Amino acid sequence: MTEKGFSLIDGGQAAAEFDWIHVTEIVAYRRDPEGEDLLCLGFRAAASRNYVEVDEETDGYSKLLAAMYEAFPAISRDWWQDIAQPLGTNRETIYGMAMSEENEEPAASKYLKSLSLQKKQSRLRRRLLLVMLSAAVVFGIILGLLSARSSGGWLVIVGCAIQFIVSTAVLRRIKSAALTLVLFAVSYWLAAFLCR
């Protein structure tokens, strides 16, 4: 037993070391080596798909059970009864979530990936907004120049409508679309004013 978990010793050296905080799953099962049934526990850490096995004949097994019950009080103390019976279940997850096709990836890893995806989406939205703001300025200047050369006050109304519709469709946010509309209008009036 270690201060924060346990270690398995093989040939005088630590073969595996676990901190309780890193254990994501504990499975109990029955193994039949050479005709004897052995109760086994498999411990899996967050970043691993492999289990470290401890059977009831391992030195310190009872100390390990006591420490396990203390670290994980929700584990039922009679988990072994179903597994020990010949007709009982052969394998049972007694702590954590069983690894399957659906949840192969640890939850922490999925959370970090979702954060990374959210950051990428946020960066993409900012870039898209910058492009739309730039387009609004250019569109406003072009229509302002056209309006100054002709007496078409209707160009500002058409331009505003087009700019707002496109911005809303692309950015999908009214505030961002309104900002592009304001930039369009300012650049339109500025270009029209400077050309007169």
Cα-based torsion angle of the residue sequence 188, 191, 195, 196 in order, rounded to the nearest 10 degrees: 50
* DSSP 3-state of 28: strand
Question: Is this prediction's pTM over 0.85?
Answer: no
- Please answer whether residues 73 and 95 qualify as being in contact, where contact means their C-beta atoms are separated by less than 8 angstroms: no
Q: Which residue numbers in the chain have pLDDT < 50? A: 101-103
What's the confidence (pLDDT) of residue 185?
A: 82
Cα separation, 170 vs 126, whole angstroms: 12
What is the structure's pLDDT at 38? 81
Predicted pLDDT at 115: 64
CA distance 153 to 173: 28
Tell me what pLDDT residue 99 has: 65
Closest by CA to 99, choosing from 54, 47, 53, is: 47
Tokens of 60: 């310190």
